[in-house]
Structure 1
Amino acid sequence: MPRAYLSLGSNLDPVRHLSAALAELRAQFGQVVVSPAYRFPAVGFDGPDFVNLAAAVDTTWAPEVLNDWLHALEDRHGRRRDVPRYSDRTLDVDIVLFGDQVLEGRGNLKVPRDELKHAFVLKPLADIAPEQRHPVSTDTLAELWHRHRDHATEYAVVALDAPHDLAPRAARG
């Protein structure tokens, strides 16, 4: 059964939306491997910080089916698609890796995701799957993160288990 590695993010009421998204992933797929949630600055626009994390699910679904389900999940959480690509989000969930597959030219579904080059995607994924190999470069996620320019940056960890708890804790790359 292939393992899908997902990137989740939100900068509008992120604790509520990310906690609810994880609950829905668990209800649909059972066990979900989840990284710590980190606070990252918005990329591509001026806006509130995002809270980002990674999750891994095992699924018999085809990547396209999973992608459609994730879009419906975003929609249930008020995701707007009538705004610029780089803008505030209630919930953003993307398939970053799907087993060792390489997929292109399927609408918005591209695996591996180009966003894997960003710390907000790579750091959480390297936390939960350091030995997972990039299907094109064959580098492990740990190797990619270790070479990343932001590797030594400290990112605040955000607790998702208590909606009122937004107190950051320091975490090192």
Structure 2
Amino acid sequence: MARIFISIGSNIHPEGYFNAALKALSAHFDNLCLSSVFESEAVGFDGSNFLNMVVAADTQLGIAEVVALFKQIETDNGRLPGAKKFSPRTLDLDLLLYDDLVTQTPIPLPRAEITTNAFVLWPLAEIAPERVHPVAQLSYQTLWDNYDKSQQRLWPIEFQWSY
């Protein structure tokens, strides 16, 4: 059984898509642990604010199977295949960590956005503060404490779950 960490983001009707994502994830994975939901300005393009969070879960699926499942959940929720990287989106699911595996295939892990994006690092530090980044060899709380918070505006929000 692997412990995975998933980044969820949306800036098109995010409340509905977050609930749909959590419903789908809870149907496929065990022991979900949810961070707070954070709002942030769009990064890389001008657009409406995003909601973001991180979810931890247990799975028996391999990395490629997890990624394929995420793509299917995104597609089922209106994400267009081949959409530009920096653009509005209904739902974005990214595998951040698969246990403490460091690999380039089938995808690069740990995901680079962990240390570069506040909207990934803060919620990850919230639910796994003592867990150690397998490359940086620092805890996620330490990485967050050392993060230059002037780089990205980010704030926690109240969120009503209905999944």
Same fold (TM over 0.5): yes
Higher RCO structure (Cα 8 Å, ≥6 apart): 2
Unaligned 5+ runs, structure 2: none
Unaligned 5+ runs, structure 1: 164-173
Q: CA–CA distance in 2 between the matches of 1:162 and 1:8?
A: 16
What is the aligned partner in structure 1 of residue 108 from structure 2? 110
Q: Secondary structure at the match of 1:31?
A: strand
Q: How many residues align?
A: 161
Contact in 2 for aligned 1:51/1:158 (Cα 8 Å): no
Contact in 1 for aligned 2:41/2:154 (Cα 8 Å): no
| TM-score normalised by the chain length of structure 1 | 0.87
Contact in 1 for aligned 2:40/2:154 (Cα 8 Å): no
| Distance 1:160-1:26 versus aligned 2 partners, 3 A rule | same
- % same residue: 35
Q: Using the TM superposition, give the Cα deviation of residue 60 of structure 1 relative to its aligned residue in structure 2, in angstroms.
A: 1.1
Q: CA–CA distance in 1 between the matches of 2:154 and 2:17?
A: 24
Root-mean-square deviation over aligned CA pairs: 1.9
Matched to 1:123, the amino acid is W
| TM-score normalised by the chain length of structure 2 | 0.92
4+ long deviations beyond 2 Å: none
| Distance 1:90-1:155 versus aligned 2 partners, 3 A rule | same
Q: 1:12-42: CA deviations, max 9, x gaps?
A: 0000001110111111113210001110110
Q: CA–CA distance in 2 between the matches of 1:124 and 1:156?
A: 9
Contact in 1 for aligned 2:42/2:48 (Cα 8 Å): yes
